[in-house]
Structures are given as C-alpha cells and as structure tokens.
Chains A and B, each alone.
Chain A
Amino acid sequence: MNRPAPTGAGRRQAGFLLGFLVVALLVAGGLSYFASPDPDGLDSVTLNGCQVTETEAGEQLEGTCIAQNAQDHALGSSPLADYTVAGRDGTVGLAGVIGVVGTLVVAGGLFWLLRRRRPGDSAER
C-alpha cells in the first residue's frame, strides 16, 4: 500500500521503459510500411519450384513446391489477419501498434505475475 515516492532511479527506470516502448511503437506503426513485401527465408524455400500467379481466386502455385501443402490459416478471417485491420489496405501500422500494445499487456502481465516479490512486499500481505 504505502508505496515510496518515485525516487530518481525509479523515474530513470520509467523514462527508459517509456523510451523503449516509443521505439517499438514507431517500428510497428511506421517502419512497417517500408518492410519488404518479398517472401522471407522460409517462404522462399517453401515456394522454391513454384510460380506464383495472381488470379481472381487468389494466389495460384504452379509447379512443385512445399508451399502447395500449406493450408489456409484457421483464423484467416480474424479482424487483424495478415497484419491489417479488417483486411483494409494501409492499416499495417495500426495493426502493428495494436500488436505491440497487446503483446506488452500479455507479456508484461505474465512476467509481472511470475516475478519474485521483494521480502518487504510479501510481509505486507
């Protein structure tokens, strides 16, 4: 309950963490627009041997490659699927910001619950 007033070190810690968060938000919210649209290392390997052609029914793979065995994602129609918001073009930045905040809440929450309490904290309880 009686938390000590923020010390110099506490403020420094908060400032550092806030800076880290801002960088993550800028990367996901802004830099993501400049990400390469080409397949990544794994996708390049699974697509090796196939020609990708865009048709009205979507992407078609011609030839023989591993990716022909790939199944559509079970949650492919979820609101944030493929790093867009509701499938709209140009929303990758917003999707990224939502992802950063969501990841922070999930991970930060879990790590906060798992942390070792200070001896003083447990005595108060």
Chain B
Amino acid sequence: MVLAMHMSDGLVNAPTSLAFGAVAVIGLAIAVTRARADLDDRSAPMAGLVTAFVFAVQMINFPILPGASGHLLGGALVAILVGPWVGMISIAIVLAVQALWFADGGLTALGTNIVNMAIIGVWTGYAVAVLLRRFARRSRPGLLTTAFIAALVNTVVASLGFVLQYAIGGAGGASLTTVFALMVGLHALIGIGEGIITAATVGAVAAVRPDLVHLLAGSPAKLELRRAGPHPEPSGSPDSTDSTDSTDSTDSTEATTRGSAS
C-alpha cells in the first residue's frame, strides 16, 4: 500500500504548475502579513497544534465507496478555529511537510495543491462559515451545522481547483467532463466525512475553550454580555452591532458572490 493523498508531479504541464506555484507564493506572502493580527501568545500555540492535528487527521483515509476513500482537507476546520490567514499558512505547512518529508504530493505540484487546499479550500470554508456565523453563535447545534456545511462545501469547491488546473494544462488521459463529474461526485461524499470530522473537532474545542474558536471571537452576544452584566437574554440588539462590523459585511458579500458564481 502506498499512501498518497495529493497531486503528483506530471498530472498538469509545467507552465500550469509554475503559474499556480506563483499564485501560491503570492497568496502565502499576503497571508503571512495578515496572519500577524490573529496571532498572539494565546492563539499562536493553538495554531501550531491545529496544524499538527490537520497533519494527523489527513493520514486517516475513510471509505466512501467500494474501492475509494477520502480524507480531510481541513480548510473549513482551520478557518473556523484559527481564521483564514493563519489557516492558509497551516494547510500550506501540512502540504509542505507531506511533500518534503513523506514524499506525498509532488514537488512541482506543491503550488497546485496549496492553491486547491490552502487557498480555495480555506477561503470557501471561511466564506460559508461567515455567512452562517449568526446561526453558529446562537446555539451549539448551530455551530456544529455551520462547521459541517462549511467543510462539505470547502471539499467540493477545492476539488474543482484540480478540475480547473486539468482544464488549463492537464496531461490527458481522461476527458474534462469525466474529470469534473467524478471529482465533484466523489468529493461530495468525502465532504460528508470532512463535515463530520470538522463539526466534531470544532464542537470539542468550543465545549472547553470557546474563546479559542476564531469564528466566534468578538461575538456580539459576548460583548453584549460583558457590557450589560448578568442579563438573562444576551440577544439585545445584535443587528445594530453587526452592521458596524465592516469585516463581517464585506465577508458576507464575498461569500454571496462566490455562492452565486458556482
């Protein structure tokens, strides 16, 4: 048995690999500058552990169909727990460790793998999670459902990254229609597993340390609680608080645009 989970070298041509490598480098450079704002003495160790956890869980291929398996990609998981910028770096580190130490994922394919899982996967998961954030803050089932949906969508959309790369510079061997249909079909099934793992992990962290869940940080309900003291109903006026949160509304718009485009 050879455990291999990511794109090998040679599946797409050199110019395509190079172009997506450049996109990966630019994306990660931006992520490094933006991640600082989300990293402090408390969240930095958490981010390191989340990265190690993603490495561990990616090793666990679960069966989806006779003869086919899937594994976690982790985009929504890291976006919800440590935020999209830190999350991008997390997934990129996992992919680099796998390619450089474990011979999993080709070296020239590292750029395409990073674009698919660390950029497309993380941002899709984040966009869906932000879109459902109000729901996620309301109750534990809301949070778990948000994590599940964000992870399911991130898996399917990340798989479309390969379809795109194959369309641009695929080495051949199968028609684009076949590749598209199989990738989406299989990853819809894998996404269910990804959703369950993501919901379970986010649920476990939120149960003991809700303050370490990035998606819930700066929660209007929590701020309201702190200001108003021991009020039984923290739901005061979350709408007015939300509308002043500019990042929130930008993210939601982004998510809506993406949603309608795909």
Q: Which residues of A contact B (CB under 8 A)?
A: 13, 16-17, 20-21, 23-25, 27-28, 31-32, 34-46, 48-49, 59, 64-71, 73-76, 78, 80-83, 92, 95-96, 99-104, 106-112, 114-116, 118
Contact = CB atoms under 8 A, between A and B. Distances in A.
B59 A27 contact: yes
A108 B55 CA distance: 13
Contacts of B67: 38-39, 44
A24 B107 CA distance: 26
A44 B101 contact: no
Contacts of B44: 108, 111-112, 114-115
13 contacts: A20-B46, A35-B3, A35-B71, A37-B61, A41-B64, A45-B179, A48-B174, A71-B9, A74-B107, A82-B102, A101-B52, A108-B47, A116-B39
Contacts of B104: 73, 82-83
B69 interface: yes
The listed residue with most A CB atoms (<10 A of its CB), out of B5, B35, B44, B64, is B44
A74 B17 CA distance: 15
Contacts of A38: 61, 63, 67-69
Contacts, number: 240
Q: For the complex of A and B, list the 5 residue pairs with the smallest distance between their C-beta atoms, beginning with the closest.
A: A108-B48, A107-B51, A69-B171, A36-B69, A81-B103
A24 to B, nearest CB: 4
B139 interface: no
B23 interface: no
A80 B101 CA distance: 6
B86 A111 contact: yes
Given A36-B63, A39-B68, A83 B49 contact: no
Interface string B147-191: 000000000000100100010001111100011001100110110
Given A37-B61, A41-B69, 10 more contacts: A24-B52, A35-B3, A36-B62, A40-B68, A45-B182, A59-B2, A67-B173, A99-B101, A108-B52, A111-B35
Nearest to A36: B69
Contacts of B172: 66, 69
A27 B60 contact: yes
B105 to A, nearest CB: 8
Nearest to A9: B42
A112 B48 contact: yes
